[in-house]
Amino acid sequence: MYKYDGLVVHQSHDDEGIIEIVESEGVRALHFGSSSRQSTMSIKAPDQLHSPYARAMMAWLLFKEQPGEVLMIGLGGGTLTKYLLHHFDECKIKVVEYRHGVVKIARSHFHLPLDPRLKIKIGEGGHFIRQHSLDLSRQYDLLMVDAFDHAGMATSVSGEAFFDSCKTLLKYDGILAINLWGTDKALFQQVAWHLGQIFNWRILFLPVRGRGNIIGFAFNEGVAKPTLKILKNRALTLEQHYHLEFPAFVQDFKRNNNKVFNRVIKS
């Protein structure tokens, strides 16, 4: 069966709806009953980040060398999780995913490995963050939020209380990275305001070129404030090592963050 301009190689259902895997031109994609791709993977290069938004999510590397403790809200195909495990031997990752069926798909179709450094919890991400922050603080170096369903971004991970709990869980030099849908301008503006309020406007936004995604980054107080020259040099080094477009990320940070740029980067 063909759907979304590709061959459907898997289809299943759970309480939340349909889960589909579609392949086209050497790319495998995860769908939740709509044409929107939740995750993509090159079948010939499964350990690389194929999706432009996933690549942009890695722009936190411009500000932090190594993630020790990582919390991820939303697994999808597990491509970002797999990438972190592959490149950072010392990192330990906890993932909160709402749908057990999605975890099974990440294992069976997207090569997410069984790894002692990876713990996956089935649950609602917003609830987990709020409850977790009541018991712990300064726990994580990196918090990555990528929680979408067939209708768009999950509302439970976009409010002020949620971001306040995120800040509590981040270490003093911790970073939050969140995948946002920029075409919903009202929701995006609301999220941007909440992020700014909670993180004292130490925030940056990175529009994904040619896509509707905008990646938001929020920086706790202890994150060093590099100069633009240092950041550009670091981008060249990172590009050579990870083969991701870090120089373009720096350009887009500067182009799209006039009001908050100097709160994070020395120009």
Q: Is the pLDDT of residue 59 over 90?
A: yes
Q: Taking residues 55-74, what's their average pLDDT?
A: 96
Q: Is the pLDDT of residue 147 over 90?
A: no
Q: Are 165 and 195 in contact (CB under 8 A)?
A: no
Nearest to 179 by CA among 150, 216, 141, 125: 216
Give the model's pLDDT for residue 224: 94
CA–CA separation, 118 vs 18, rounded Å? 26
Q: Is the pLDDT of residue 6 over 60?
A: yes
Q: Taking residues 179-191, what's their average pLDDT?
A: 87
Between 181 and 241, whose confidence is greater?
241
Q: Are 39 and 29 in contact (CB under 8 A)?
A: yes
CA–CA separation, 236 vs 251, rounded Å? 12
CA–CA separation, 207 vs 25, rounded Å? 26
Please report, for the chain, the start and end positions of each structural domain, with discontinuous segments joined by +: 47-264
Give the model's pLDDT for residue 134: 94
Burial of 267 (0-12, 13-18, 19+ CB in 10 A): exposed
Give the model's pLDDT for residue 150: 52
| Strand, helix or coil for residue 154 | coil
Q: Let me know the angle formed at the C-alpha of 111 by 77 and 180, rounded to the nearest 5 degrees.
A: 20
Q: Which residues contact 130 (CB under 8 A, 6 or more apart)?
A: 161, 162, 165
Tens digit of each residue's pLDDT (9 = 90 or more) over 107-146:
999 999 999 999 999 999 999 999 999 998 999 999 999 9
Q: Are 162 and 211 in contact (CB under 8 A)?
A: no
Specify the amino acid at residue 190.
Q
Tens digit of each residue's pLDDT (9 = 90 or more) over 155-184:
778 889 999 999 999 999 999 999 998 878
At 151, is the pLDDT very low, low, confident or very high (cuts 50, 70, 90)? Answer: low
Give the model's pLDDT for residue 149: 58
**Which stretch of DSSP H or E encloses residue 17?**
strand 17-24
The answer as to CATH 1.10.4080.10 being correct for domain 47-264 is: no
Give the model's pLDDT for residue 136: 86
Q: Is the pLDDT of residue 227 over 90?
A: yes
Q: Is the pLDDT of residue 206 over 90?
A: yes
Q: What percent of the chain has pLDDT over 70?
A: 97
Token pair for residue 242?
């990870």
Orientation angle between helical segments 228-242 and 246-256, nearest 10 degrees: 150
CA–CA separation, 169 vs 150, rounded Å? 28
